[in-house]
Structure 1
Amino acid sequence: MAVRVSTDTFEAEVKNGGKAVIADFYSDSCVPCKRLSPVLAEIEEEQGDRVKLVKININFDGALAEKYGVMSVPTLIFFKDGEEISRLNGAVKKSEIVSEIDKI
């Protein structure tokens, strides 16, 4: 299950454990974000042993969006050991997300 993180909990959640982390920067009013959410849940269910999903609502945690240069939503940022590895912007396909996970 995706973990909703805030500015206060982001560092601990992203650097915790040896798994890769997908940070989903989203907004409740974003239609592409709503369409991407079940795809991410499916990926997390299938690949939960390899990847952890965290969700950041940019309306409440704009400081995190600013820190990571998120200019539009949805934006997926892939982290490994707390460092950004790659990112995807927009309503991307499941295969594109899985491909990024495989690269990590």
Structure 2
Amino acid sequence: MPDTDTTTALTTVSDATFAPTVLNSPRPVLVEFTAHWCPPCRMIEPVLTEIAAENADHLTVVQLDVDTNPVTTAAYGVLSMPTLMLFRDGEPVRTLVGARAKRRLLNELSEVL
């Protein structure tokens, strides 16, 4: 029987839900700024899904489509996809651009988680 926790889709946020979901979150939130036409975004999605499932008790992982949510995308100066931005207490504390392996991503986030 497959483990359904690791196949759960990531939560999607929008311009309208970004503030309550990300900025007002009591725990860190990793936001993937993504686009459906972006191959590296599709490559990193399974990695983010695994991280979300494995760290569900202390980290929230969400996706924001840059094409349908231009206000938030512009507010954070996102120009390349995927851009991963870690928020803590409503503030971005780390920004990473481009797809990467799970181990590398966890290593890059470990000092700010």
What TM-score comes out, normalization by structure 1 length?
0.92
Identity among equivalent positions (%) equals 34
Which residue of 11, 15, 36 maps to 1:3?
Answer: 11
- SS for the counterpart of 1:28 is coil
In structure 2, list runs of 5 or more residues that go unmatched: 1-8
Alpha-carbon displacement from aligned partner over 1:44-85 (angstroms, at most 9, x marks no partner) = 111111210111000100221111010100000000011000
C-alpha distance in 2 between matches for 1:50 and 1:95: 18
In structure 1, list runs of 5 or more residues that go unmatched: none
Is the 8 Å Cα contact of residues 44 and 53 (structure 1) preserved in structure 2?
yes
Q: Does 1:81 align with 2:89?
A: yes
Task: Write the letter of the residue equivalent to 2:35.
Answer: S
Which residue of 30, 45, 49 maps to 1:22?
Answer: 30
Is the 8 Å Cα contact of residues 2 and 52 (structure 1) preserved in structure 2?
no
Structure-2 residue corresponding to 1:55:
63
Root mean square deviation of aligned Cα: 1.3
Offset at residue 38 of structure 1 (A): 0.5
C-alpha distance in 2 between matches for 1:102 and 1:20: 12
Structure-1 residue corresponding to 2:50:
42
